[in-house]
Structure 1
Amino acid sequence: MIIGVISDTHMPRSAKRLPSAVIKAFGGVDLILHLGDWVTIDVYEQLAALAPVEGIAGNNDPGEIIDRFGHRKILTLDTYRIGLVHGHTPFAGRTTEEKAQLSFKEDRLDAILFGHSHQPLLKQSGGVLLFNPGSAADKRRETRYSVGILELRESGIEARHIFYDSKE
């Protein structure tokens, strides 16, 4: 299974539509996961034109998105348990990565996917893949925009970032 991973689109403030690099990167994926800060449900519609979409809400999302997706969830995809969280709550004084991990401290997972920081991250911690795709259209202090691809294989989960220079 191939999964597109996206977060922090902040549309329409940061971009009016999905960047062409995202459309290209997600062409042919089996599923798209959005990790919050969609800001408008229109982002869902644009992504759903590419593949089925699942996700969670972030701190900038309206009630419509919160009600539809919630703030935290665990998906079982193939044989893998994957936690989704934006990473903005509830642990004060912690980094986004730490908040994401603490959100699932009672759960046995293969991967934790999160956003919020707009900073791409790919690492293993205690046998769990930690993955932040960065931001698709609001790079802030990063040099490039980014999304991610997860490949679920019998041998494990492979993750990678796709970096690009234009949000057009």
Structure 2
Amino acid sequence: MKIVVISDTHMPRKSKSLPDKLLADLQDCDYIIHAGDWQTVELYNELKQFGPVIGVTGNVDGPELKSLLKTKDILQVGNFHIGVVHGHGSGKTTEKRAIESFTADKVDCIVFGHSHFPVNKEVGGIIIFNPGSPTDKRRQKQFSYGILTVGEEIVAKHVFF
């Protein structure tokens, strides 16, 4: 199973359209995860054309997105649970806030955004994954998004471009 993971698209402020590389990966995905800061609902509607979308709201998302999406969600794929949260807030790092969001839940992977900084590591047996941003790289050298491949295990990787 292929899950495309994106976050912090900030569309249309940072880009009018999704990058071609990302659009190619969306063609054959089973799920799409968006970890917040969409900016407008148009992207949500566009992504639904490619497959089921699991998304959460971020700190720049307006009332229309907040009426459609939660601030935290969990996707079950087979025997695995993937937690999704944006990670904004005060105190602690974005990563620590994301991890703490799921202390009461059993998750195998936590997807978060907010920092625009790609992260792929394991903490306490849980994959901690931030895809970066495909449209707003900020201080990063490249744009990025992620692919989670789910089979006997979850394999997380970044796509940099």
User: What is the TM-score with the length of structure 1 in the denominator?
Assistant: 0.93
Q: Deviations over 1:110-155 (max 9, x none)?
A: 010000000000000000000000011000000110000001112x
- In 1, Cα distance between the equivalents of 2:86 and 2:143? 18
- In 1, Cα distance between the equivalents of 2:109 and 2:19? 26
Report what 2:86 is aligned to.
86
CA RMSD, Structure 1 to Structure 2 (Å): 0.9
In the alignment, structure 2 segments of 5+ residues that lack a partner are none
Report what 2:140 is aligned to.
142
- In 2, Cα distance between the equivalents of 1:48 and 1:21? 18
- In 2, Cα distance between the equivalents of 1:136 and 1:93? 26
Report what 1:130 is aligned to.
128
Report what 1:14 is aligned to.
14
Q: Deviation of residue 26 (structure 1)? A: 2.1
Report what 1:157 is aligned to.
154
Give the 3-state SS of the residue equivalent to 1:97 in structure 2: helix
8 Å CA contact 2:148, 2:154 repeated in 1: yes
In the alignment, structure 1 segments of 5+ residues that lack a partner are none
Q: Deviations over 1:18-37 (max 9, x none)?
A: 11111012220111011000
> Which segments of structure 1 move beyond 4 Å, counting only runs of 4 or more?
none
Match of 2:114 among 113, 116, 125: 116
Matched-pair identity in %: 47
8 Å CA contact 1:25, 1:162 repeated in 2: no
Q: Deviations over 1:36-89 (max 9, x none)?
A: 000011111221222221110000000111111110111211110111100003
- In 2, Cα distance between the equivalents of 1:40 and 1:82? 24
Q: Aligned pair count?
A: 161
Give the 3-state SS of the residue equivalent to 1:43 in structure 2: helix
User: What is the TM-score with the length of structure 2 in the denominator?
Assistant: 0.97
